[in-house]
Amino acid sequence: MERLIKSGSGWRIGWNPDASEYQGLVGSDTWAIELTEAELQDFCKLLTQLAETMSYMAAELMDQEKIACEAESDLLWMQVEGYPDAYSLSFILNTGRCCEGSWTADAVPGLVQAVQVLKVF
């Protein structure tokens, strides 16, 4: 398997199976952080769950009603906030490096789509 980087307007995500410690990467146009395999797996899993939740909530909310949803694992915390069809994403890494990042509502659809096709695990 070889190194894979996907990027779009305001987001990027990557996988390098040959890296010794940090095989994953997430970022935006202005920042990036390397993740361990387990951290990237949790990131992808939680983002997929949050995207599905926002999709399901579309039928439950009134027009122009915003919502915030959170999900977390032992490794990271994530939150989406906004409308079911346009929401921002934030995360906090709870492991030794303790960092955080976020993406705008414009960047999230591309990131969600990339996570779905990144299935490298």
CA dist 85 and 44 (Å) reads 19
The SS3 of residue 61 is coil
The SS3 of residue 40 is helix
Q: Which two tokens stand for residue 87?
A: 């929401």
In order along its 121 residues, the chain shows pLDDT tens digits of 678 899 999 999 999 999 999 999 999 999 999 999 999 999 999 999 999 999 888 888 777 889 999 999 999 999 999 998 899 999 999 988 889 999 999 999 999 999 988 765 4
Range of the domain at 21: 4-117
Nearest to 27 by CA among 42, 10, 43: 10
Question: What is the chain's length?
Answer: 121
Q: Terminal CA-to-CA distance of the chain, rounded, Å?
A: 11
- Number of domains into which the chain is organized: 1
* CATH number (domain holding residue 29): 2.30.31.10
